[in-house]
Structure 1
Amino acid sequence: MRKIIILGFSILAMVSCRKKEKENTIIEETTKDTVMPEIIEKPVKKTTKEIKEALNAKGYQTFDYVDEVTKDTILMQQYFIAFLKKGPIRSQNEEDVEILQKEHLAYLSKMYELGYADISGPFGDKGDIRGITIYNVPTLKMADSLANADPMVKAGRLVIEIHPWWAAKGFSLR
């Protein structure tokens, strides 16, 4: 019983110590047929102007595009697309390649979690261009630095070629 109580307090301590970013949320309490109120987080909708001002303040390049058909104003943001190309050093043994691949995937996951990369993935053929990563950072220098910190690049199995790329802010892939 003592172990269960200690475990319960430990879990309670961990949960209560977690920090949650609330910058862009409104907290709304609702009560149903329960004793505890239910907390629902609703995202605060920012205007295109507010999004553009925030991006520009952080050094991102943007411009407005007016859709000829709908007459909607679409905010375009500059991203950086990194092509991961076959590198000159391909002599690693199978075990080392496996370790490098795990480190490479962990690195790309970390870039996504930190908000630096929006999407990454390999190509489906065996060509010289092995995959891409789209970096959501304000400068080419920053994208280049992040791309070249990839363990596969550092080992020479991949090399990076980066290009500025424009996309509509907030639009998703279909």
Structure 2
Amino acid sequence: MKKLIILFVTALVVLSCKDEPKETNSDTTDVGTELIKTAKDSVISQSNEIIEQIKTVKQIKEELNAKGFKTFDYVDEKTQDTILMQQYFMAFLKTGPIRGQNEEETADLQKEHLAHLGKMYELGYADISGPFGDDGDIRGITIYNVPTLKMADSLANADPMVKAGRLEIEIHPWWAAKGFPLR
């Protein structure tokens, strides 16, 4: 957040410090001056819009808590930034008891499974999903961005692969910092 604000302030300073064109041709000078003014106004407008969109940790925490999410925050000793933690729910998709589907049924279930996960992502209920790269009992995970275990369990059990018994679900609460991307 700080880097974004610094970037826009820097761009604003650079544009505002530009010298006017030295040419004596008034048409060229007027066009150049107008372009610089338009660019400067655009940067100022975009900067103001971004600053208005940036919410404080307190505002985000209040919004999440109002929706029923569990949160806490702390101050990072190194950066002195306030870090907001939110509870998510990690669903482990494990090998289910019913694995006797034929190839065609399995392919159809896989399409429905992927459509379900895509829908969860589009609706904002799941933030990340994916299979594991080995052939172990735990086949994959989905991280649900919902306020309760009951809601995560309901969404996970609505998966066609789970309904068919090909997969089963094990869910655990999981804490992560808001706004930190995967690397």
TM-score (norm 2): 0.72
**Runs of 4 or more above 2 Å deviation:** none
The whole-number CA distance in structure 1 between the counterparts of 2:81 and 2:59 is: 16
Q: Deviations over 1:45-76 (max 9, x none)?
A: 11111100000000000001221222221000
Structure 1 counterpart of 2:78, which letter?
V
Aligned residue runs from structure 1 range 4-15, under 5 A: none
Q: Whose radius of gyration is greater, 1 or 2?
A: 2
Q: Which residue of 1 aligns with 2:134?
A: 125
CA deviation digits over 1:76-129, x for unaligned, max 9?
Answer: 000000000000000000000000000000000000000000000000000000
Equivalences for residues 24-35 of structure 1 within 5 A: none
User: Which residue pairs with 2:119 in the alignment?
Assistant: 110
Instruction: Give structure 2 stretches of 5+ with no counterpart.
Output: 1-37, 39-45
Identity of aligned residues (%): 81
Structure 1: runs of 5+ lacking an equivalent: 1-31, 33-39
> Which structure is higher in strand share?
1
Secondary structure at 2:97's aligned position in 1? coil
Alignment-mate amino acid for residue 83 of structure 1: F
Counterpart selection for 1:74 from 64, 70, 83: 83
Equivalent pairs, count = 139
Within the alignment, does 1:101 sit opposite 2:110 as a pair? yes
Q: Given the two structures, how large is their TM-score scaled by the length of structure 1?
A: 0.76
Find the counterpart in structure 1 of residue 67 from structure 2.
58
